[in-house]
Amino acid sequence: MNKRIIIVDDEPNVRLGYRITLETEGFKVQEATGATEAIAAFDGEPFDLAILDMRMPEMDGLDLLAVMRERGLDTPTVIITAYGDVPHAVKAMKLGAIDFLQKPLTPEQLRALVTEVIERHEMPVTPELTPIPLKYRTDGSLHLLAAKRAINQRDFNTARDHLTEALKQNDYVIEVHNLLGVLSEMNEDYDTAKKCYGRAIAINSNYEPAQQNMRRIFELFNFGSSKEPFNLGE
């Protein structure tokens, strides 16, 4: 496979666990204890994927990602978060980050997401917005995978086009509605964002990303803070 991955985390045991998990899959792994080491590593050679811990003493994961983007590094990135420590979806998406894993995570979860992100960025796409089918380890629309890649690359117009095509194929894919909501919120189209989050919640009221995004809009318009889940029904 020979894909290169950098793990940035200030906890040695965590880095070791991730490293063992990924090296058994054939990935080449380099470790960094924080932002300074990570930036030095990026200056040395390119990586196919970065795994960043959200909370680190020197600089948190999103701030490090912002520095990477300022330096012209478009490396796909997975953010590892603690329970309840959820990044602001709009800020994260502007940086091309939509792939998150929550601690405690299993080796299977890490392998599955890393493999999906790597394969997503190898997937050829025709000029007509038709992704060429490949054998993925994840189920789901090829247009959704292409949209995620476009978001990683901060090509938001292409992402929206693919998400729209994905909805034409299946209106019940929760993640599609949620991502369209974040894209709408990025453009300050809050009415559409609320409708998208609402549709995701109507399909599955336990889908926490859409619940969190709806709460944020709820608070943005000074409706107060709601800790209760939204139950919108089908």
Can you give the pTM of this predicted structure? 0.86
- Say yes or no to pLDDT of 7 above 80: yes
What is the Cα–Cα distance from 209 to 186, expressed in whole angstroms?
Answer: 16
Longest C-alpha distance within the chain, in Å?
Answer: 52
Task: Identify whether 63 is part of a domain.
Answer: yes
Instruction: Report the run of H or E that residue 78 belongs to, with start and end.
Output: strand 77-81
Task: Identify whether 131 is part of a domain.
Answer: no
Q: What tens digit of pLDDT does each residue of 110-138 get? A: 999 999 999 999 877 765 666 666 544 44
Domain that holds residue 61: 1-122
* Domain of residue 54, CATH code: 3.40.50.2300
Q: What is residue 99's three-state secondary structure?
A: strand
Task: Identify whether 62 is part of a domain.
Answer: yes
DSSP letter assigned to residue 87:
P
Task: Identify whether 166 is part of a domain.
Answer: no
Task: Identify whether 80 is part of a domain.
Answer: yes
Report how many domains make up the chain: 1
Buried/exposed 91-119: b ≥16 CB within 10 Å, e otherwise = ebbbbbbbbbbbeebeeeebbebbbbbbb
Task: Identify whether 220 is part of a domain.
Answer: no
Task: Identify whether 174 is part of a domain.
Answer: no
Q: What is residue 50's three-state secondary structure?
A: strand
Q: Which residues pair with 174 in a beta bridge?
A: none
Task: Identify whether 155 is part of a domain.
Answer: no
